[in-house]
Amino acid sequence: MATVTFDKATRVYPGTERPAVDALDLHIEDGEFLVLVGPSGCGKSTSLRMLAGLEDVNAGRILIGDRDVTDVQPKDRDIAMVFQNYALYPHMTVADNMGFALKIAGTPKADIRARVEEAAKILDLSQYLDRKPKALSGGQRQRVAMGRAIVRQPQVFLMDEPLSNLDAKLRVQTRTQIASLQRRLGVTTVYVTHDQTEALTMGDRIAVLKDGLLQQVGTPRDMYDTPANVFVAGFIGSPAMNIATVPVLEGAAQLGRARVSLPRDVITKFTESDKNHITLGFRPEALEVVPQGTPDAIPVIVNIVEELGSDAFLYASLTNEFGGAEAVHSGAGDAQIIVRIDPRGVPAKGETVWVRIREGQQHLFHAGSGERIAV
């Protein structure tokens, strides 16, 4: 087991000007489960492949422990990779698939068998060792791919969207198994996903990338409570955060006809590029349903209610009388907001309800740069 360090690691694909990964600085502790997350094309899989040795590093370097592996062949890096598509040999049994890398390395047969049986026991695959991959379900095949990585006893596990091919229920079950397994084995793990729910539920820490640039690194709670910029705020959290860029008048953000009080020192931190505007972020649970006529309440028209049993989410449009509706957007679209409500008191579709941001639960960002304003 070892630490992993990206030291200004950069990858530029031939024929392109913009780096796929741009000067990535990231340190992963020994035994840590770190999740790389971001939208398609952000550079997360490229970062993983650079660490694996499957992509060249055009600038900077990569270390595993104290060893610079930037120019080391993949087979000599002491890593094991789990791919999205399982990559199992169809003509081999489960046992042969799991032990194949050890066989190639010349490990004695008795040692291979012992390590395969140990991994199979951990992954609940003991009864399937003599089967071929075609006789297994998708979840079982993914566990075989995990077993193949485990038997190698590497310093680092690399996982590239290993749950993408599984159905929703199995994905939830398998992500719990992977997280538990990693904590049991204590092997440093770098896990790539585009699913921020996976990232929040599995990682010790999360690294968010966008356009090849690292946006923020922190614990799941850090990312949710104190996003570093508007992109992270809108990306992390399900349903997504509501975001509005609005003018500031007399010390308060003017959200339509509603006023949102701002801490006194926030306005002193404005820059010229902000143009006396501020970007407000407020999560669905930061809104409360209030009676009509409540000061600073926002009227919204119910489009749909998503009932989840223990929770319910209101997807609503801002009414014409609100003013400034085009400044607000969310995961539901422009001029739309999402509100978490009591599932026992769900309003009807088309009904108008009034909501208000709970005091102190808004996130504040520079309108110009999108960076968080520290308060």
Q: Which is more confident, 322 or 373?
A: 373
Is residue 184 within 8 A of residue 195, CB to CB? The reply is: no
Q: Where in the chain is the domain with CATH 3.40.50.300?
A: 4-233
pLDDT tens digits for range 260-273:
888 888 888 999 99
- What whole-number distance in Å separates Cα of residue 55 and Cα of residue 51? 8
- What whole-number distance in Å separates Cα of residue 22 and Cα of residue 47? 10
Q: Does residue 321 have a pLDDT over 80? A: no
Q: Does residue 1 have a pLDDT over 80? A: no
- pLDDT of the residue at 327: 81
Residue pointed to by tokens 């709670």? 221
Band (pLDDT 50/70/90 cuts) for residue 177 is confident
pLDDT tens digits for range 259-316:
888 888 888 899 999 999 999 999 999 999 999 988 888 889 999 999 988 889 999 9
CATH superfamily of 239-366: Nucleic acid-binding proteins (2.40.50.140)
Band (pLDDT 50/70/90 cuts) for residue 235 is very high
- pLDDT of the residue at 76: 92
Q: Does residue 18 have a pLDDT over 90? A: yes
- What whole-number distance in Å separates Cα of residue 193 and Cα of residue 40? 10
Q: In which element (H, E) is residue 93 found?
A: none
- pLDDT of the residue at 318: 85
Band (pLDDT 50/70/90 cuts) for residue 369 is very high
Q: What does the block give as tokens for 143? A: 């566990």
Q: What does the block give as tokens for 22? A: 């741009």
Instruction: Look up the pTM and report it.
Output: 0.90
What average pLDDT does the segment 159-180 reach? 86
Q: Does residue 212 have a pLDDT over 90? A: yes
Is residue 155 within 8 A of residue 64, CB to CB? The reply is: yes
Band (pLDDT 50/70/90 cuts) for residue 359 is confident
Give me the DSSP letters along 308-340: -SS-EEEEEEEPTTTS-GGGEEETTEETEEEEE
What average pLDDT does the segment 68-90 reach? 91
User: 79, 36, 8: which is closest to 203 by C-alpha?
Assistant: 36
Band (pLDDT 50/70/90 cuts) for residue 84 is confident
Give me the DSSP letters along 45-85: HHHHHHHHTSS--SEEEEEETTEE-TTS-GGGS-EEEE-TT
Does residue 233 sit in helix, strand or coil?
A: helix
How big is the CA angle at 273 (ends 271 and 278), to the nearest 5 degrees?
75
Q: Where in the chain is the domain with CATH 2.40.50.140?
A: 239-366
- What are the distances in angstroms from CA 308 to CA 288, 312, 355? 18, 6, 20
- pLDDT of the residue at 174: 86
The answer to which of 115-119, 132-136, 331-335 has the lowest mean pLDDT is 331-335
| Whole-number average pLDDT of the chain | 91
Q: Does residue 375 have a pLDDT over 80? A: no
Look at domain 4-233 and name its CATH class.
alpha beta
- pLDDT of the residue at 234: 93
Band (pLDDT 50/70/90 cuts) for residue 105 is confident
- pLDDT of the residue at 264: 82
What average pLDDT does the segment 335-340 reach? 91
Q: Is the peptide bond before 295 cis (omega within 30 degrees of 0)?
A: no
